[in-house]
Amino acid sequence: MTLNLKYGILGVLLLALLTGCATTTSPTGRRQYLALSDSQLDQMGARAFSEMKMQQPVGKDARQNAYVQCVVEALVKQLPTELRSVPWEVAVFVDDTPNAFALPGGKVGVHTGIFKVAENQDQLAAVLGHEIGHVYARHSNERASRQVATSTGIQVLGALAGVRYGQTGADLVTQGGGMAVQLGILLPFSRVQETEADDIGQRLMAQAGFDPRQAALLWQNMIAETAGSGRTPQLLSTHPDPQNRIQELQKAAPSLMPVYEAERRAGNVPQCGN
């Protein structure tokens, strides 16, 4: 058996082992591998958020803060009980980049630059619903667990190769194996997470009384805002291609309109601003 073929088989076995070790399911029913406790991730999220607030300027605009808080509260009400009971915290950071994030433990950050692309409360809900969707689906835990597992697996394969082929063989596995796992597991898996967060966030929007059609418009605005900045090819990116993302959001919106309209008829009409 050639060296490349041997490593190829070992790599396939490693990939099969890692992708088969699911211990739970995401809100969309996708199998997940989680090796860390939620409390660990919550502590890490809280610590990271505290450090951000110390290192980055926090916005003092009361209207902006109330606006974001209102949208977050409306979305959080649609989460399962255990997540609704989390002490959610919101901060607006003075940063011109159009970005937002949510961390385990219920920490939500919004850059002031997001207001350039989120033209109304529905579009802001699209951004924040997506980010809260990551927390709901425990994506941080899942990604950290996968990284731990792949790093450990590559080290084991490298040790085995070193016994048979010496240091050169070990280096080939740890270096080449790292690239193979990055391309074969971690990056595509991140794209799966991003697409799943889009699905979850758009549904949370509709359930909270925000127009799910606005999610696609938000991404159109984002493309226009970042035009000319260049983009990493999808194969090497952690995010779906923007045009593909828009098409999927547009496709999903009609099935969510009955949910949105029922909520509005029931009086669930957010009045957050813009």
Catalytic residues: 131
Gap between the Cα atoms of 27 and 13, Å rounded: 28
Would you list the DSSP string of 41-54?
A: HHHHHHHHHHHHHH
How far, CA to CA in Å, does 238 sit from each of 75, 87, 188, 201, 206?
Answer: 25, 29, 7, 18, 26
Strands 24-25 and 89-93: unpaired
132 CB neighbour count, 10 Å cutoff: 27
CB atoms within 10 A of CB 100: 20
CA angle 127-129-134, nearest 5°?
100
Could you tell me where the DSSP H helices lie in the chain? 3-20, 38-55, 62-76, 81-84, 121-136, 139-181, 187-207, 214-226, 242-265
Alpha-carbon span 270 to 25, nearest angstrom: 31
All residues at 6 or more sequence positions from 78 whose CB lies less than 8 Å from its CB, including other chains = 204, 207, 208
CB half-sphere exposure, 26, CA atoms < 13 A: 24
